[in-house]
Amino acid sequence: MNSRVKEAVRYLGYGRHAVDKKTERLVRDSFEELDRIAKGRIVYRIFELNISDDGRVKIGELHITSKNLAKNMRGCRRAVLLGATLGIEVDMLMKRYSLTEMARAVVLQACGAAMLEEYLDEWQQEYEKEALKEGFYLRPRFSPGYGDFDISCQEDILRMLDAAKKIGLTITDGHMLTPTKSVTAVIGMSKEKVFCHKKGCEECRKADCIYRR
Ligand code: SF4
Output the CA 104–ligand 1 centroid distance in Å: 36
- Please list the residues that pair with 31 across neighbouring strands: none
Q: What is the pLDDT of residue 16?
A: 67
Instruction: Report the share of the chain in percent with pLDDT over 90.
Output: 84
Q: Are 119 and 41 in contact (CB under 8 A)?
A: no
Distance of CA 102 to the CA centre of its chain: 26
List the residue whose alpha carbon is closest to atom 8 of ligand 1: 196
- The reported pLDDT for the residue numbered 19 is 83
Lining ligand 1 with CB less than 6 A are 72, 139-140, 194, 196-197, 200-201, 204, 206, 209, 211-212
* pLDDT above 70 for 190: yes
Pocket test for ligand 1, best of 194, 195, 198 (most atoms within 8 A of CB): 194
Sorted by where each starts, the structural domains of the chain and their CATH numbers stand as 3-203 (3.40.109.40)
Tell me what pLDDT residue 198 has: 83
Summarize the chain as % helix, strand, coil (round to 5): 45, 25, 35
**Which residue has the least CA distance to atom 7 on ligand 1?**
196
Question: 79: pLDDT confidence band, cut at 50, 70 and 90?
Answer: very high
d(CA 189, ligand 1 centre) in Å: 13
Whether the upstream peptide bond of residue 144 has omega within 30° of 0, thus cis, is no
Ligand 1, pocket-test mutation among 197, 202, 203, 205, most atoms within 8 A of CB: 197
Q: For residue 155, which amino acid is it?
A: E
How many angstroms is it from 128 CA to the middle of ligand 1?
Answer: 15
Phi, psi for 24 (deg, rounded to 5): -60, -40
Distance CA 186, CA 206 (A): 21
Decide: pTM greater than 0.75.
yes
